[in-house]
Each structure stands twice: as structure tokens, then as C-alpha cells.
Structure 1
Amino acid sequence: MNPKILFVFALLLNLVSNSFQNPNPKTPKSTSSQAHVELINHGLPAGLLPATTVLGYAVNRTSGDFTVKLGGACKITLPPDNYVATYSDTITGKIVKGKIAELEGIRVRAFFKWWSITGIRSSGDDIVFEVGMVTAKYPSKNFDDSPACEGQHSSS
């Protein structure tokens, strides 16, 4: 099987397996940070960020450049095949309505290699994840609630 197809399948398992559904996706939970609310305000689900302490969030309203400071690096192990996704303690990118570009700080481990998620965009009822030239599409409702972190990680 083509390694790119396998990678997309692994990414699908990573992202969908770790998501939870919120009965009202437009209303963030009371424990949501301003960064989670900002995602919703830009037409993206809050569950794209983990349910962890957000120490700081800044966005340049003109350029869309943003920085999210988490309370620490976050690891998420996804069943059934134990794929690992990681969030760095600092996530940066450029956010505009329905899209995050130039994303840094979120990676997924598949086929013995770490792959950076470089962009995320909304497409109708779906979310499209970009990993270089490869994309994977999932129902956005799968990302209404934030996944829980398992702890610190190392991506080396």
C-alpha cells in the first residue's frame, strides 16, 4: 500500500479517535480559554486545542499571527493502534476565518517518524488537516470538545 495513503489513514485515526462530541458545538464550555473561544470565533472547533492550561494567548488582529502558550507540552495516545499526537508548549501560526496556516507546534507520529501538521482549514462540515502536501478530511463535529492531555512528551 502507498505510504502516503497509510499516513493519511494513520492521521485520520489519530485525529478522529481522540475527539469527543459536544451537543452544542457553537457554545464553548465554561472552562474554555480565550484561545478556544478564538477558534470558535474564526469558524473552527475548540477541540483543535487540548484541554490543558492555556497560560497565554495573543493574536495580531491585522495579520492573524497568533501564539498560544500551554501549561506544558501535551501528549495524546490514540487507540486502537497507539498513535501519538503531541502539542508543544508553544503553538504558533496565522489564523483567518476558517483557516490556520503556517502552523507550528502540533505533530503526529506515524510510520516511525514525526510529521508536523502545517495547516488546518474548515471545509463545509469538515476540517481538513495539512501535513505538507498531504491532506486528510474529518467531520468537524469530532472536534467540538478538547481532548485530554496524558502528560509531557519528547518528539526527538
Structure 2
Amino acid sequence: MNPKVLFLFLFALLLNLVSNSFQNPNPNPKTPNSKLSKAHVELTNYGFPVGLLPATTVLGYAVNETSGDFSVRLGGACKITLPPDNYIATYSKTITGKIVKGKMAELDGIRVRAFFKWWSITGIKSSGDDIVFEVGMVTAKYPAKNFDESPACEGQHSSS
């Protein structure tokens, strides 16, 4: 699979992981003019950059610290353009998966468009300066700095 396609899948997966939130009164200065939530902050506690989750309203989140199961409820489905290759990614209203320090798995709710097809991001790993996205057995590695800022939603999409 093309590395660009894999990147989009992985980016969507990371966004699913960013599942814990309500509005944060102290937004991250790296994400100007956006409202970062507690879910964005929680993402950093697990070793991921805030940019894996879009800068949108987070209605709620839950994380089971024993099992790692998480869910994030967004204010609506969201479409974004991912750096650096300008892939289109969509986030469903609800994103679920499992999270532990440096790793998200069993992601559901993040998809990327590549090669005229939609792909689900199934996992995301953070290893220092890099983020590795998983789409099934295929992986793509990108610099974590590409995700320092939380992207704004460009529009709504059907969450089907």
C-alpha cells in the first residue's frame, strides 16, 4: 500500500484515540483560535500530539483505565485535510478503541481517502519523534511534529 494512503489511515486512527474531553479552559498555545478539550489534553498524557483529534466540540469522553477502552463523542461528524500529503479524513460522531501509553488499537470512527477508496485507520503508535499509522497490516510513519496543531473541521460528512 502506498505510504501516503497509509498515513491518512493512521491519522484518522489517532483522532479516534483522542477520546477524553470537555472544553479545556487553558487551550494549548500551539493550536491558536481553537477550543481544545480535556480529550485533547488526555491524548498528550498517553504520549500523542493534540493534532490527532480535530479542533471541534467534544461532547463527552470515557476511558477505562484498566482495559484501555475509550470512546469520544464529537459535536458532529467532521472532515479534515491531513498534512503533509493533503489526504481527506473523516471522523464519525463517535470514535472508539483501546489506548495505552504510546499505542491506540481497535480504532473505529476515523477514515482516510486514498487511491479512490476509503480506508479505516485501525491503530496508531507514538514513538518519540514519529507517529506510525496502521491500516490493517500496512503501516506509515510520519514526523509527530506534523500533528502539533489540532486541525479545524472543514465540513460535515455522513457518518455512514
User: Is TM-score (shorter-chain normalized) higher than 0.5?
Assistant: yes
Cα 1:81–1:67 change in 2 (3 A) is: closer
CA distance 1:124–1:69, shift in 2 (3 Å)? same
Query: Secondary structure of 2:146's match?
Result: helix
Q: What's the counterpart of residue 57 of structure 1?
A: 61
Normalised TM-score (structure 1):
0.80
Equivalent-residue separation in structure 2 for 1:118 and 1:99 (angstroms)? 11
Q: Is the 8 A contact 1:28 1:36 kept in 2?
A: no
Relative to structure 1, the CA distance from residue 97 to residue 79 in structure 2 (aligned partners, 3 Å threshold; closer, same or farther) is closer
Paired AA for residue 50 in structure 2: A
2:42 matched residue in structure 1: 38
CA distance in 2, matches of 1:117, 1:126: 17
What corresponds to 1:153 in structure 2? 157
Q: Please show how residues 127-138 of structure 1 align to structure 2 within 5 Å.
A: 127-138=131-142
8 Å CA contact 1:28–1:46 kept in 2: the answer is no
Q: Is residue 110 from structure 1 mapped to residue 105 from structure 2 by the alignment? A: no
Residue 9 (1) aligns with residue 4 (2): yes
Q: Aligned residue for 1:18? A: none
Matched positions, count: 140
8 Å contact kept, 1:117–1:131 = yes
Shift of residue 141 of structure 1? Answer: 1.3
Shift of 1:113: 1.1
Secondary structure, counterpart of 1:47 in structure 2: helix
Aligned equivalents of 2:79, 2:67: Cα separation in 1: 30
Tell me the distance in 2 between the aligned counterparts of 1:80 and 1:52: 21
Q: Which 5+ residue runs of structure 1 have no aligned equivalent?
A: 16-26
**Structure 2 partner of 1:94:** 98
Aligned counterparts of 2:83 and 2:52: Cα–Cα separation in 1: 18
| Kept after mapping to 2: 8 A contact 1:107/1:117 | yes
Q: Distance in 1 between matches of 2:49 and 2:105?
A: 15
- Flag the 1:12–1:60 CA change in 2: closer, same or farther, 3 A: closer
Q: Aligned equivalents of 2:76 and 2:53: distance in 1? A: 13
Q: Call closer, same or farther: CA 1:155–1:70 in 2, change over 3 Å.
A: closer
Q: 2:145 aligns with which of 124, 141, 147?
A: 141
Q: Which moved more, 1:32-41 or 1:81-90?
A: 81-90
> Is the 1:84–1:109 Cα contact (8 Å) retained in structure 2?
yes
**How do residues 74-85 of structure 1 correspond to structure 2 at under 5 angstroms?**
74-77=78-81, 83-85=87-89
> What SS class does the counterpart of residue 105 from structure 1 fall into?
strand
Give the TM-score, by structure 2 length.
Answer: 0.78
